């Protein structure tokens, strides 16, 4: 781009204000009433909802659809990491199996074991950026995976009915285990 030899022209002066003061007061009152109405509606919104993703208030809540996505929802502590993640430069995509100790089962009841194995898609990415054209429903506010951290997870199972791709399972010698598929992954201790 070439530079102009001339300075930019000064912006035009704003038009002269022709609104009288009483009209301004009426307009201000209308805006105030509208803001109060929005605030009250937000405060009275039910704490949770059921339904298809994209149609419930959960989708726009800070937690996202962690309370509605999948058939299982747990709060769990991430166990020792089973080695490093593979490179994830955008060329190859994979899911990585992580081990969790379950603290609370929110949904799924007695079917959820005390120790679970969860496949996370492209774990080097923040959960906010993990969704792609192949798996558009994934997400969360988790920024990284670190042993000892507590996560709130929305899950499905069995994993291979929800994901078809490379799977890094360094617990493959653990026989008979169920592997869950992580749909939504939030951090519980947000400041960590």
Partner 1 sequence: MPLSSTTLTAVLALSGICAIPSATAADARAVESLRKEVSAKGYLVASIKQPRGDWDLVLMRPDGSEQRKLTDTPAWSEAAPRWSPDSRRLLYRRIKAGTVISHDRWGFQGELVVADAMGRKGRVLGKHPWGCWSPDGKKISCLSLKGIEILDVATGTVQRRMKRAGYFQQLFWSPDGKWFCGTANVGGELWTIVRMDVVTGKWNVVSRFRNCTPDWAPDSKQVIFSNRPSNQQGYGWTQLWIAPGNGGTRKMIYGEDGRHIYGGGLSPDGRYVLFTRCPKDGGGSERSGAAGGLMRLADAPIIGGSSPALRKLHAEAHDGPVLSLPELWEPHWTYVDVTAAR
Residues that bind partner 1 (CB under 8 A): 91-94, 133-134, 160-170, 172-173
Q: How far is the CB of 167 from partner 1 (least distance, A)?
A: 5
- Contact between 72 and 180 under an 8 Å Cβ cutoff? The reply is yes
Q: How far is the CB of 18 from partner 1 (least distance, A)?
A: 48
- Contact between 182 and 65 under an 8 Å Cβ cutoff? The reply is no
Q: How far is the CB of 162 from partner 1 (least distance, A)?
A: 7
Positive or negative torsion for Cα 110, 167, 149, 60: negative
Q: How far is the CB of 185 from partner 1 (least distance, A)?
A: 21
In the complex with partner 1, which residue's Cβ is closer, 64 or 123?
123
β-pairing verdict for 72-78 and 150-156 = antiparallel
In the complex with partner 1, which residue's Cβ is closer, 137 or 169?
169
In the complex with partner 1, which residue's Cβ is closer, 124 or 143?
124
In the complex with partner 1, which residue's Cβ is closer, 149 or 169?
169
In the complex with partner 1, which residue's Cβ is closer, 81 or 150?
81
For residue 145, give the nearest of 185, 90, 91 by alpha carbon: 185
β-pairing verdict for 94-107 and 166-168 = parallel
Q: How far is the CB of 169 from partner 1 (least distance, A)?
A: 5
Q: Which residues of 142-179 are buried (b: 16+ CB within 10 A; e: fewer)?
A: beebeeeebbbbbbbbebeebbeeebebeeeeeeebeb
């Amino acid at each position: 781009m070439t530079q102009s030899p001339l300075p930019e022209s000064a912006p035009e002066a704003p038009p002269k204000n022709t609104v009288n003061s009483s009209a301004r007061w009426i307009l201000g009152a209308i805006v105030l009433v509208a803001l109060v109405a929005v605030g009250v509606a937000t405060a009275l919104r039910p704490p949770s909802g059921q339904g298809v993703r994209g149609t419930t208030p959960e989708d726009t809540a800070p937690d996202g659809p962690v309370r509605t996505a999948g058939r299982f929802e747990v709060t769990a502590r991430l166990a020792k990491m089973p080695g490093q993640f593979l490179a994830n430069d955008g060329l190859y995509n994979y899911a990585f199996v992580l081990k969790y100790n379950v603290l609370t089962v929110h949904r799924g009841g007695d079917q959820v074991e005390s120790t679970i194995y969860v496949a996370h898609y492209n774990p080097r990415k923040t959960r906010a950026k993990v969704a792609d054209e192949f798996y558009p429903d994934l997400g969360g506010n988790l920024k990284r995976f670190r042993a000892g951290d507590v996560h709130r997870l929305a899950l499905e199972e069995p994993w291979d009915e929800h994901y078809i791709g490379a799977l890094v399972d360094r617990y493959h010698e653990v026989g008979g285990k169920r592997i869950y598929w992580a749909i939504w992954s939030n951090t519980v201790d947000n400041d960590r």
